[in-house]
Amino acid sequence: MTAPCALTVGDFLAAFEAEPEDAALLADEVGRHDFRYRRLPQAERDAVILSVLRKLDGFTEVGAHRHDIWQSAWADVARRYDESGNDLAALEPGFIGATSYIRLFGDYAQPLAAGFEFNYFRVLRRWLFGKYLTDARHVYEFGCGSGFNLVALAQSAPDKRLIGLDWAAPAIDLIARVAAHHKLPLEGRRFDFFAPDPNLALEPHAAAMTFCALEQTSEQCTIFLDWLLERRPEIVVSMEPVIDFYDPDSLVDDLAIRYHTRRRYLTGYLPWLIAQAEAGRIELLKARRLRMGNLFHEGFSLLIWRPARRA
Ligand SMILES: C[S@@+](CC[C@H](N)C(=O)[O-])C[C@H]1O[C@@H](n2cnc3c(N)ncnc32)[C@H](O)[C@@H]1O
């Protein structure tokens, strides 16, 4: 049995390619959680790979046909929130941290405590908010689901106006009720990545975010990206699975490519950014995989950009 390891503040800084002075931004959140994990002996690793291979064919594809599934998923979360007596913790989605094995630094691992992936996400989100959203007065999260990211932002930066957008009506209704009950500067709005509202303008000093949301649009992501670029937010922070980052010669990455392809996840975001940057229309601030994910893939890759400043 190999001795357990644990992620340190330094590991997070290296993964995010953050400045050493950002340690202060992360230390509290890292210290709050148990980031120990163990590597797998060969027989267990083989069993994990076999289980992934056996599950691959059973996954459904994302796309426009899944509208009703998302409606009912967020209606369930709304019911859970009501039953909890307006507990904000009930807004946290179940799909982060749903697998007991994770992928970390190019191989599989097993966390020693529950919640490793979600807590990793909390550290990442803290850093993204502190690093990229401090100047924003309006923050738009597209594909926001229950709005739990915006609630976290409202708690740490109550001076911002927050707008959660999603195509699922129960999510938008839930956000309105959460905002009213907890007196948060938050509103919800219907929005469809496949048919963005041509009349929706962004407020000045706007930041736009997508967290595991544009993943649902396959190669049609550029409909939304073209729309967003025209609206010239000051910054765009995306945390999405990015297929271009995987190494096809790595077994663990190859399985992620198969999963991503099978689900028809996000395709073309990074190539779109590179083309826009080459044409001088945007500045690409960060394009980075974190080498951390769940059993099947890395959902937390970062694409951070802004429209090019006009002369
Ligand atoms: C995996 S969830 C992520 C939700 C949230 N960002 C989070 O991190 O919990 C994907 C979200 O995208 C939304 N979504 C999927 N397709 C969409 C579309 N065409 N337009 C707008 N939202 C969409 C779903 O309703 C869901 O809320």
Question: Is there an atom of ligand 1 within 6 Å of 224 CB?
Answer: no
User: What is the arithmetic mean of pLDDT over 122-149?
Assistant: 98
DSSP 139: E
What atom of ligand 1 comes closest to residue 73's alpha carbon?
A: 25
Predicted TM-score (pTM) of this structure: 0.97
Average pLDDT over residues 10-16: 98
Rounded to whole angstroms, what are the CA distances from 55 to 60, 254, 308?
Answer: 11, 15, 43
DSSP letters spanning 8-70 = -HHHHHHHHT--GGGHHHHHHHHHTS--EEEEPPHHHHHHHHHHHHHHHTTPPPPSGGGHHHH
298: Cβ below 6 Å to ligand 1? no
- Residue 1, pLDDT above cutoff 70: no
pLDDT at 310: 78
Place of tokens 């890292």: 30
* pLDDT for 99: 82
Task: Please give the domain boundaries of the chain with CATH numbers for all domains.
Answer: 93-98+125-143+191-307 (3.40.50)
User: 115 C-alpha to center of ligand 1: Å?
Assistant: 21
- Ramachandran region of residue 231, left (φ > 0), alpha (ψ -120 to 50) or beta? alpha
Average the pLDDT over 42-52 and give the result: 97
Query: Is residue 218 in contact with ligand 1, taking CB distance under 6 Å?
Result: no
* Confidence band, pLDDT 50/70/90 cuts, at residue 311: low
CB atoms closer than 10 angstroms to residue 68: 9
Tell me what pLDDT residue 2 has.
74
What mean pLDDT is predicted for residues 133-142? 97
Which of 267-303 are b and which e, b meaning 16 or more Cβ less than 10 Å from the residue's Cβ?
bbbbebbeebeeeeebeeebbebbbbbbbbbbbbbbb
Residue 59: partners with Cβ closer than 8 Å, 6 or more residues away: 259, 262, 263
Length of the chain in terms of residues written:
311
Pocket of ligand 1 contains residue 214 by CB under 6 Å:
no
From ligand 1's centre to the CA of 3, what distance in Å?
39
Give the tens place of pLDDT for each residue, 73-129. 999 999 999 999 999 999 998 878 778 999 999 999 999 999 999 999 999 999 999
pLDDT over 70 percentage in the chain: 99
Question: Does the beta carbon of 144 lie inside 6 Å of ligand 1?
Answer: yes
| Residue 180 CB-density burial (10 A; 0-12 exposed, 13-18 middle, 19+ buried) | exposed
**Candidates 167, 227, 260: which one to mutate for ligand 1, based on the most atoms within 8 Å of Cβ?**
167
pLDDT in tens, 233-282: 999 999 999 999 999 999 999 999 999 999 999 999 999 999 999 999 99
Degrees to nearest 5, angle at CA 135 with 14 and 183 = 105
Residue 93: what pLDDT? 86
Binding site membership of 194 for ligand 1 (Cβ less than 6 Å)? yes
- Residue 11 to residues 16, 91, 290, 291: CA-CA distances in angstroms? 9, 29, 10, 11
Q: What number does the ligand 1 atom closest to the CA of 70 have?
A: 25
Average pLDDT value for residue range 5-32 = 97
Ligand 1 centroid vs 144 CA: distance in angstroms?
6
